[in-house]
């Protein structure tokens, strides 16, 4: 697999592997130049060449014929973007024009790899089992090993085995291939008594990446490509959803409490009054009359009955200066006047006798 001059400009194997992926995916009609243009329009392309006037000039000249190198190099980025966008609008320039100038290696070198991977991944091409897609998969598996994406050829082959799982080998590979694997294993064992180095590279001499791409389901094979994207952090990671926590200052809570509190006067009118305690065995019994131990009298201005020391009732007018503590419905005339109960210890003692 030969590399172009632009591929050599890429610094790492994973970059070159991704550039190969773009080129082969485009050849297999997985993606198109129109797809690339949607993700990487002129403003992104020219902005990525901010420090590279020669690259900027190459793109501009490729898009608009008649410009010379010197003129193109001296145009600022905003002018370049405006010219190419206008040319696209007038259909003098197409996506094929732009991405006939910008190679996959240039896209990988200058653009966001996560956006590149998302463009390829969202095509869901492994779900469409075509000859072109199987050829694309075979090429990408071979490139995975050639570029040694796991730090070595044997390690890369072993990673492919682990991601595809031997159970899928047994289920999907033809029986004659499996028999050939067993024969090879026996040959290796006979050649190395006491030591059986049946490593991934030995297995791959029979079960090659292209053979896997021919027989295994494409969605299973795609696990290898997804593993590369995960390893090199090309996958878009969704931001975790965090419940919003509203912080309120103590002073704000205090103001809110004051604003929403009920006035004390209103509370007095709606809250129930304290109920009197129920009398115990030691409390005096209730009697009609007004004695020294009785409850406050009504302001009824009528004769009331009181009990003297001998237990005899005596009539007397209620003093005008006696204070009415609680409004009484009897006094207000809302109910018939009744004798006011009082407490008398003597009367209780009499009853007990």
Confidence of residue 26 (pLDDT cuts 50, 70, 90): very high
Q: Of 201, 220, 237, which marks where a domain is finished?
A: 237
Average pLDDT over residues 333-351: 50
277 within a domain of the structure (yes/no): no
* pLDDT tens-digit readout, 212-230: 999 999 999 999 999 999 9
Least confident segment among 58-62, 71-75, 233-237, 291-295: 291-295
3 state DSSP class of 315: strand
Question: Domain check: are 113 and 179 in the same one?
Answer: no
Identify the domain boundary among 123, 157, 181.
123
pLDDT at 134 over 90: yes
- Report the alpha-carbon distance of residue 224 to residue 144 in Å, rounded: 9
Instruction: Please state, in angstroms and as integers, the Cα–Cα distance from residue 317 to each residue in 10, 53, 286, 301, following that order.
Output: 118, 118, 22, 7
For residue 23, pLDDT beyond 90: yes
Find the mean pLDDT for residues 285-299.
49
Instruction: Check residues 206 and 313 and name the one with the higher pLDDT.
Output: 206
The span from the CA of 321 to the CA of 296, in Å, is: 13
Distance separating alpha carbons of residues 111 and 222, to the nearest angstrom: 23
pLDDT in tens, 177-214: 999 999 988 888 788 776 767 788 889 989 999 999 99
Whether residue 82 is found in the same domain as residue 29:
yes
Residues 9 and 109 placed together within one structural domain of the fold: yes
Q: Which of 308, 310, 301, 316 is nearest to 342 (CA)?
A: 308
Q: Judge whether 230 lies within some domain.
A: yes
End-to-end CA distance of the chain: 126
Residue 9: pLDDT band with limits 50, 70, 90: confident
pLDDT in tens, 52-65: 999 999 999 888 87
Domain termination residue (choose one: 89, 123, 157):
123
Mean confidence (pLDDT) of the chain: 78
Residue 269: its pLDDT value, please?
58
Point out which residues pair with 287 in neighbouring strands: 342
Hey, what are 72's tokens? 């193109």
Rounded to two decimals, what is the model's pTM? 0.62
- By DSSP bridging, strand 341-343 and strand 286-288 are antiparallel
Q: Quote the pLDDT of residue 345.
A: 47
At residue 24, what are phi and psi to the nearest 5 degrees? -70, -35
Q: Cα angle at 308 between 302 and 311, to 5 degrees? A: 110
- What's the CA gap between 152 and 145, in Å, rounded? 8
| 256 within domain boundaries | no
Whether 104 is covered by a domain: the verdict is: yes
pLDDT tens-digit series, residues 247-272:
555 555 555 555 555 566 655 555 55
Q: Is the same domain home to 116 and 152? A: no
155 & 222 share domain = yes
- pLDDT of the residue at 191: 80
Whole-number Cα distances in Å, 2 to 6, 16, 315: 12, 11, 131
> 162: part of which helix (H) or strand (E)?
helix 153-164
Q: Which residues contact 350 (CB under 8 A, 6 or more apart)?
A: 311
Q: Which residue segment(s) compose the domain that 76 sits in? A: 1-123
Count of domains in the chain? 3
Are residues 117 and 32 part of one domain?
yes
In a domain, 160, yes or no: yes
* Mean pLDDT calculated for residue range 286-303: 49
Query: Are residues 117 and 30 part of one domain?
Result: yes
Specify whether 92 is located in the same domain as 30: yes
Q: What is the mean pLDDT of residues 97-107?
A: 94
Six-digit token pair at 143? 């490139």
Helix/strand/coil percent split, the chain, to 5: 55, 5, 40
Residues 119 and 165 in one domain: no
Q: Which of 16-20, 92-96, 167-171, 242-246 has the lowest mean pLDDT?
A: 242-246
22 lies in a domain? yes
Q: What is the pLDDT of residue 294?
A: 47
Residue 65 has a pLDDT of 76
Count CB-CB contacts under 10 A for residue 160: 23
What is the percentage of the chain residues whose pLDDT exceeds 90? 51
Q: 150 and 73, same structural domain?
A: no
How much is the pLDDT for 339?
A: 56
**pLDDT value at residue 237:** 72
Same domain, 105 and 155: no
Q: Specify if 345 maps to a domain.
A: yes
Query: Is 326 inside any structural domain?
Result: no
* Residue 315 to residue 199: CA distance in whole angstroms: 124
Mean pLDDT of 330-335: 54
Is residue 117 a contact partner of residue 230, using CB atoms and an 8 Å limit? no
Give the pLDDT score at 314: 53
80 and 52 Cβ atoms separated by less than 8 Å: no
Identify whether residues 25 and 119 lie together within a single domain: yes
Residues 340, 295 contacting (CB under 8 angstroms): yes
Question: What are the start-end ranges of the E strands in the chain?
Answer: 286-288, 304-307, 313-316, 341-343
């Amino acid at each position: 697999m030969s590399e172009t001059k632009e591929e050599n400009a890429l610094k790492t194997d994973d970059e070159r592997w991704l550039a190969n992926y773009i080129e082969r995916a485009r050849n297999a009609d997985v993606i198109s130049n129109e797809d690339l243009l949607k993700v990487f329009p002129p403003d992104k392309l020219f902005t990525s060449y901010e420090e590279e006037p020669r690259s900027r000039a190459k793109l501009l000249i490729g898009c608009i014929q008649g410009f010379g190198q010197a003129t193109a190099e001296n145009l600022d980025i905003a002018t370049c973007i405006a010219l190419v966008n206008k040319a696209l609008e007038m259909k003098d320039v197409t996506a094929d024009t732009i991405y006939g100038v910008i190679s996959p290696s240039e896209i990988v070198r200058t653009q966001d790899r996560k956006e590149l991977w998302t463009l390829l991944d969202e095509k869901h091409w492994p779900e469409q089992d075509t000859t072109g897609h199987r050829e694309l998969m075979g090429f990408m598996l071979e490139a995975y090993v050639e570029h040694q994406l796991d730090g070595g050829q044997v390690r890369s082959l072993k990673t492919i085995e682990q991601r595809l799982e031997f159970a899928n080998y047994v289920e999907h590979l033809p029986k004659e291939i499996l028999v050939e694997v067993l024969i090879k294993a026996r040959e290796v064992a006979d050649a190395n008594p006491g030591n059986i180095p049946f490593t991934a590279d030995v297995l791959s001499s029979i079960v090659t990446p292209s053979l896997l791409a021919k027989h295994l389901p494409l969605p299973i094979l795609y696990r290898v490509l997804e593993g590369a994207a995960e390893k090199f952090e090309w996958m878009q990671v969704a931001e975790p959803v965090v419940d919003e926590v509203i912080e309120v200052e103590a002073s704000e809570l205090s103001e809110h409490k004051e604003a929403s509190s009920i006035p004390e006067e209103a509370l007095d009118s709606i809250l129930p009054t304290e109920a009197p305690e129920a009398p115990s065995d030691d409390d005096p019994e209730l009697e009609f009359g007004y004695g020294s131990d009785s409850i406050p009298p009504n302001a009824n201005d009528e004769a009331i009955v009181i009990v003297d020391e001998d237990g005899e009732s005596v009539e007397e007018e209620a003093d005008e200066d006696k204070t009415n503590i609680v409004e009484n419905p009897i006094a207000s005339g809302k109910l018939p006047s009744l004798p006011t109960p009082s407490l008398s210890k003597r009367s209780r003692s009499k009853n007990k006798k």
